[in-house]
């Protein structure tokens, strides 16, 4: 009798912004504008880092790859969100949900590694300028980028399989804007302690460790900058690093709050806002931050636009 009262879930209903029925069209228009801006802005960064001779350096090589990653990362969630708002068909199968989560986690892990690599690049450039061409040679840059692209995939696929090995019964209403770990765990049946433990372990690898490496790099960078005799040199070094630090703060700030908050403090509204930050706001502001605060990028854009 007890077993008969449970219904095995075969698909989820992504509630998204269904609590704002009068704003569905407005939200669709806003997200469409944001998505196009992300594609155009990051696409422009990719193009100028490829065609501009002055930007053929390791820093811009990493930036070009990072911008391409941002496009992929956003494309995992935003087209589906806009489709739900436009069609009002919010059903998503377990397989589609698992695929979305797998790509989201893998690309999120890659982004975390890329931010750490870019911090390491700035550390070498500022703290060891004479050795920079030797350390950050083309082969080393290619190895770092390849490692960032592929290293997180096996772990995050295992993490996705771990989440979807759970049984989902009862309610199939996923109160979120896309398939993510915290709202999925809320719908899981039985004891999820081990699954939550694996999520924390994965977060330690893909969030905490890279963020600590970034922090260590910037502590050493700050010490080196403060020792520079020229005020202009200090300003230039601070300007170069501040752009990267803004992107780091946006991404890691929201990721830390999402995956390291106590389960009791999770609320659907807060989770949705944080999800928008690490999947949409960071990719949107990435090209703005790097272009507006970088004279080389602005000059390259000015040279490219007339063509």
- Per DSSP bridges, beta strands 11-14 and 91-93 are antiparallel
Is 2's pLDDT higher than 50?
no
7 is a domain residue: no
* Distance between CA atoms of residues 238 and 248, nearest Å: 15
From residue 58, alpha-carbon distances to 106, 134, 145, 288 in Å are 24, 12, 10, 20
Is 1's pLDDT higher than 70?
no
27 is a domain residue: yes
pLDDT at 205: 84
pLDDT at 285: 84
* CATH code of the domain covering residue 86: 1.20.1070.10
From residue 14, alpha-carbon distances to 34, 63, 67, 89 in Å are 21, 33, 28, 9
93 is a domain residue: yes
170 by DSSP, 3-state: which? coil
| Structural domains of the chain, count | 1
6 is a domain residue: no
* Distance between CA atoms of residues 16 and 165, nearest Å: 24
Average the pLDDT over 112-122 and give the result: 91
Cβ distance 35 to 276 under 8 Å? no
14 by DSSP, 3-state: which? strand
pLDDT at 3: 46
* Distance between CA atoms of residues 244 and 115, nearest Å: 8
* Total residues belonging to the chain: 307
8 is a domain residue: no
Is 168's pLDDT higher than 50?
yes
What's the pLDDT band for 4 if we cut at 50, 70, 90? very low
pTM for the structure as a whole: 0.88
pLDDT at 178: 92
* Distance between CA atoms of residues 171 and 65, nearest Å: 40
pLDDT at 265: 57
Average the pLDDT over 22-47 and give the result: 93
3 is a domain residue: no
Radius of gyration of the chain (CA): 21
152 is a domain residue: yes
What's the pLDDT band for 260 if we cut at 50, 70, 90? low
Domain encompassing residue 33: 13-304
pLDDT digits (tens, 9 = 90+) for 121-166: 999 998 999 999 999 999 999 999 999 999 888 888 989 999 998 8
Find residue 188's DSSP bridge partners. Answer: 168
pLDDT at 267: 67
300 is a domain residue: yes
């Amino acid at each position: 009798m007890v077993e008969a009262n449970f219904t095995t879930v075969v698909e989820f209903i992504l509630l998204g912004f269904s609590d704002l029925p009068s704003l569905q069209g407005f939200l669709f228009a806003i997200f469409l504008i944001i998505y196009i801006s992300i594609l155009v802005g990051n696409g422009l960064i990719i193009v100028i880092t490829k065609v501009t001779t002055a930007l053929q350096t390791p820093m811009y090589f990493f930036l070009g790859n990072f911008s391409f990653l941002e496009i992929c990362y956003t494309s995992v969630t935003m087209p589906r969100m806009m489709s739900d708002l436009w069609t009002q068909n919010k059903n998503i199968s377990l397989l589609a949900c698992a695929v979305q989560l797998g790509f989201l986690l893998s690309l999120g892990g890659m982004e975390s590694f890329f931010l750490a690599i870019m911090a390491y690049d700035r550390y070498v450039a500022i703290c060891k300028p004479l050795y920079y061409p030797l350390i950050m040679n083309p082969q080393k840059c290619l190895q770092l980028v390849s490692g960032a692209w592929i290293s997180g995939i096996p772990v995050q696929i295992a993490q996705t399989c771990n989440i979807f090995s759970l049984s989902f019964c009862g309610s199939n209403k996923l109160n979120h804007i896309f398939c993510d770990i915290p709202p999925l765990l809320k719908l899981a049946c039985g004891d999820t302690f081990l699954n939550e433990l694996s999520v924390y372990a994965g977060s330690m690898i893909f969030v905490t460790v890279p963020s600590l490496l970034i922090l260590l790099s910037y502590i050493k960078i700050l010490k080196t900058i403060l020792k520079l005799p020229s005020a202009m040199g200090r300003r230039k070094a601070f300007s170069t690093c501040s752009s990267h630090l803004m992107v780091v703060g946006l991404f890691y700030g929201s990721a830390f709050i999402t995956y390291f908050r106590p389960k009791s403090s999770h609320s659907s509204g807060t989770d949705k806002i944080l999800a928008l930050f690490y999947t949409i706001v960071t990719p949107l502001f990435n090209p703005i931050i790097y272009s507006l605060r970088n004279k080389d990028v602005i000059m390259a854009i000015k040279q490219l636009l007339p063509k």
